[in-house]
Amino acid sequence: MAVVTINHPPANSFDLGTSREFARMIEEVEGDNHVRVLIITGGGGKCFSAGFDVRDAGNAEAIGEVIRLLWTKLDAFHKPVIAALNGHTLGGGLELALCCHFRVAAEIPGLKIGLTELNLGIMPGWGGTQRLSRLVGRSEALEMILMSKTLTPEQALQRGLVDAVVPPDLLLSHAMEKAERLAERPPVAVRWVLKAIAAGEYEGLEQGLAVEEQGSVFLRGTRDQDEGMSAFLEKRKPVFKGE
């Protein structure tokens, strides 16, 4: 497992330097075969991330180019990604969380989750108009975006925007426990499942089904499949090695 912490006070927002450094961290995790699950969280405790750093407005175009590519990479990442929302998750910060496969939020009074860009006369530009509705539905997404409506962690849980709400001191341990369970799953099969789902979302149902079929054929020749079948017959827990 790998934990990447966004540490850019005071709001863990993304300027050009932070964006590029974050991209390097994600590339490192992507290329590390020993890492099976990625956890993303925020440093400092006040914010998971507030998105775009307005202090670096002069680099807005360059930041957008880096972030849009990176968020799409995460949305189709071949390893499970968990967002541990330890503080306010707003604007581009929520757009980042929407790209993760799982989201768990800290039960903190006053914690806000939303896409509030319209308060500034702008709009979500890092994928929020497309990805929010996948989780909460079209009407709720429009309500949140057009009215800059924010949700509490409990409201986000009710709407399916987050998967769990836990006390702040248990947030990372909860994410780690989930990551441990995911890390025990067969890595090659996990990769193909994520690839098939991403293909369906980005390229349509027909392509998603085609990738699913390709994955099913590929997995028949893996050692992980042999291990899974043997463990089932021997009534023991399988040990998958990603082979």
Instruction: Give the pair of three-digit tokens for residue 184.
Output: 């025990």
For the chain, helix (H) and strand (E) counts, in that order, are 10, 8
Amino acid letter, 179: A
Question: How far out from the chain centre does Cα 69 lie?
Answer: 14
> CA torsion sign, 29 to 162 to 70 to 171?
negative
Q: Is 184 a catalytic residue?
A: no
Among 28, 65, 117, 203, the active-site one is 117
Give whole-number Cα distances, 84 to 39, 98, 134, in Å. Answer: 7, 12, 19
Q: Is 65 a catalytic residue?
A: no
Amino acid letter, 54: V
Whose CA is closest to 134, among 90, 173, 94? 94
Reported in sequence order, the residue ranges of the chain that DSSP labels E, i.e. its strands, are 2-6, 38-42, 47-49, 81-85, 88-90, 102-106, 113-114, 164-166
Residues 217 and 71 sit within 8 Å (Cβ to Cβ): no
Among 95, 143, 177, 180, the active-site one is 95
Instruction: Give the pair of three-digit tokens for residue 154.
Output: 């409990």
CA atoms of 119 and 137, how far apart (whole Å): 22
Residues 47 and 88 sit within 8 Å (Cβ to Cβ): yes
Please identify every residue annotated as catalytic. 95, 117
